[in-house]
A and B are shown apart, each in its own frame.
Chain A
Amino acid sequence: MKLLVCVSKTPETTTKIQLTGDGSDIDTTGVQYIMNPYDEWYALVRALELKEAAGGSVTILNVGPADNDSVIRKGLAIGADDAVRIDVSEEKDSLYTARQIAEYARGENHDIIFFGKETISYNGSEVGAMVAEFLDLPYIAEAIALEIEGTKATVTRDIEGGEEVIELQTPFALSSAKGLAEQRIPNMRGIMMAKRKPLNVIQPTDFPDTTRIAHYDKPEEKGSVKLIDPDNMDELVRLLHEEAKVI
């Protein structure tokens, strides 16, 4: 099977987000970056499992600057065969990113294109759907299980309060949620091998911006917590009704 896993770089999950003084951007001072967890833990690992079971190849694709190479190398250390980075230095929107991926993947005949269900940075959850549309592929969002038999796939996806099971044929695209696979930690051999695996850098195609973030702000800080006597739950109910007005 020929498998493509599209990955993003995001701030580490415990990052405290700080803004520049005028709110025009995120202050990246001291921010540690990782591979987006949905891409690494679920999409990449499930792709590797399928390759291990049925043979084939797993390619990592990233759209971003040279800084992203360390994150890409980690994916190679976990077990991907090779990687492609489309060299884009500026922050771009989802549609731009999806167009770059589609330009690369068109004609490559991947059996499955994997995405994470969303990035933990911009929480867009749309690049995979966009690529699927550009390539005219079926798309399953938020997959929590994926089984393959020849060209037939059975995918389980999260829906509100339950799940749905879908059968389809390759090729297709999907986004990966918790449950699809278990996180893998790269071992020393993987890390050494990753240095020699190909990471090809290709140039982007020109496309216009369709959105632009003009301003950021942060949620209002909560005032200090109001502590309620554990023996007086009637008081809590009163406050929820009269003060918070939520019941």
Chain B
Amino acid sequence: MVLVYAEATNGQFKKMAHEVVVYGKKTADVLGTECHALVLGDATGAEDLARFGAGKVHRVSSPNLEKFDAAVYTVAIAEVAKKLGATVIVLSHNSTGKSITGRLAARLEAGSVPGANAVPMMKDGYFTVRKPVFSGKAFAEVQVLTDVKVISVAGNSIPVEELGQAGASVESLDITVPESRTKVVKHQVATGRVPLPEAELVVSGGRGLKGPENWGVVEDLADALGATTACSRPVADSDWRPHHEHVGQTGVAIRPNLYIAAGISGAIQHLAGVNNSKTIVVINKDADAPFFKAADYGVVGDLFEVLPRLTEAVKRYRGQ
């Protein structure tokens, strides 16, 4: 059985939760088994996870799950996996997944694949999972040799589709959850835009913007597209933009459908964080900027003229 940990954010299931359930269902199909989803704590819409392929939805409730703690969540997921006899456990490769995938693998003595970007396959008789390595400069096919396997799935790896019917019953499981040894005293998330790792459309600015006061042209385009804003390392280092917007090797690695880079030259460390994007548009007044070599579409021009024109063109297209 494939067990998917579907994470709720502020009591709601978002795209990443649906994505891992779809991933779990497709994995279960490869293995000829069932896919179940696991929900920890209170969240609305758990029964809806069936729509994305969960044959059953399990819930563990405990006051000890109200705030996130990697050790506590690991125990809860591991105990459910053992109780239900799960052989594959699937999570999101987000900040939660990065906190617990390793713990879970250690606790279950399971081989793990963190940051998978494709559904597992049986190849040469082995359960094999693909993942990007060297910050996206290559891909590895990883054979998992243990009976129990743990996989975390990189955001935007597979399309979300409806593989089942809504309205599964949500069954409560009685699991003893230990008390946390950590205390979350502040949890602050920027509202309004989709978080970068989940964003399908991203507009990013670099040093070519010349200063934080000029970011309006980037934000206007992002608003017209419904995109998330990002920036290059020098921009974050200069505190023009918040640190969590920095994409690249030392920042966030993203894989949106569309990445629009304005005023970013395209150093190899920046490319490492964005080169798994499906389509890349580069806007730069320097025709020799290395980023053009990695781009699908390029505009050689002054971004302060090009971005507002592109924003207007998007609005015309969207009929706004």
A contacts, CB < 8 Å to B: 11, 13-17, 19, 26, 37-38, 93-95, 98, 117-118, 120-134, 136-142, 144, 154, 157-169, 172, 175, 178-179, 208-219, 222-223, 225-228, 230-231, 233-234, 236-241, 244, 246-247
Contacts and interface: CB of A to CB of B under 8 A. Distances in A.
Nearest to B155: A160
Contacts of A210: 105, 109-112, 144-146
A211 B197 contact: no
Given A138-B182, A158-B95, A244-B279, A94 B102 contact: yes
Interface of B: 68-71, 74, 94-95, 98-107, 109-115, 123-124, 126, 128, 131-146, 181-190, 193, 195-198, 200-201, 225, 243-244, 246, 249-251, 253, 257-258, 268-269, 272, 275-276, 278-282, 292-302, 305-306, 309-310, 312-314, 316-317
A213 B114 contact: no
Given A133-B102, A161-B189, A230-B306, A212 B142 contact: yes
A164 B96 CA distance: 12
Contacts of A93: 111
A212 B261 CA distance: 36
A162 B189 contact: yes
Given A94-B105, A169-B181, A230-B299, 10 more contacts: A126-B105, A130-B105, A132-B102, A161-B193, A217-B141, A223-B296, A225-B292, A234-B316, A236-B281, A237-B310
A153 B253 CA distance: 28
B135 A133 contact: no
Contact of B70 (A98, A141, A167): A141
B138 A218 contact: yes
A166 B183 contact: yes
Contacts of A228: 297-299
Contacts of A163: 186, 188, 244
Contact of B103 (A117, A139, A158, A179): A139
20 contacts: A94-B102, A123-B115, A123-B131, A126-B105, A141-B98, A158-B95, A160-B95, A162-B187, A164-B186, A178-B250, A213-B143, A214-B123, A215-B140, A218-B138, A219-B137, A230-B306, A234-B313, A238-B317, A244-B279, A247-B317
A108 B237 CA distance: 37
B312 A98 contact: no
B145 A209 contact: yes
A230 B305 contact: yes
Closest 4 CB pairs of A and B: A129-B102, A126-B102, A230-B301, A210-B111
B128 A165 contact: no
A246 B278 contact: yes
Contacts of A216: 133, 138-141
B258 A247 contact: yes
A111 to B, nearest CB: 14
Contact of A222 (B102, B293, B312): B293
Main SS of chain A's interface residues?
A: mixed
B46 to A, nearest CB: 21
A138 B70 contact: yes
B292 to A, nearest CB: 5
A142 B98 contact: yes
A220 B114 CA distance: 22
Most A CB within 10 A of own CB, among B106, B183, B225, B244: B106
A104 B100 CA distance: 22
Given A17-B138, A227-B299, A230-B305, A178 B251 contact: yes
A226 B272 CA distance: 21
A38 B141 CA distance: 25
Q: Considering residues B94, B302, B310, which has the most beta carbons from chain A within 10 angstroms of its beta carbon? A: B310
Contact of A211 (B98, B142, B294, B295): B142
Contacts of B68: 164
Contacts of B279: 240, 244, 246
Nearest to A161: B195
B181 A138 contact: yes
Contact of A134 (B106, B132, B293, B306): B106
A130 B114 CA distance: 12
Given A130-B106, A142-B95, A217-B139, A166 B184 contact: yes
Contacts of B301: 230
B135 A126 contact: no
Contacts of A227: 297-300
Given A94-B102, A210-B145, A225-B297, A159 B189 contact: yes
Contact of A165 (B114, B185, B201): B185
Nearest to B256: A246
A6 to B, nearest CB: 13
Contact of B134 (A17, A144, A169): A17
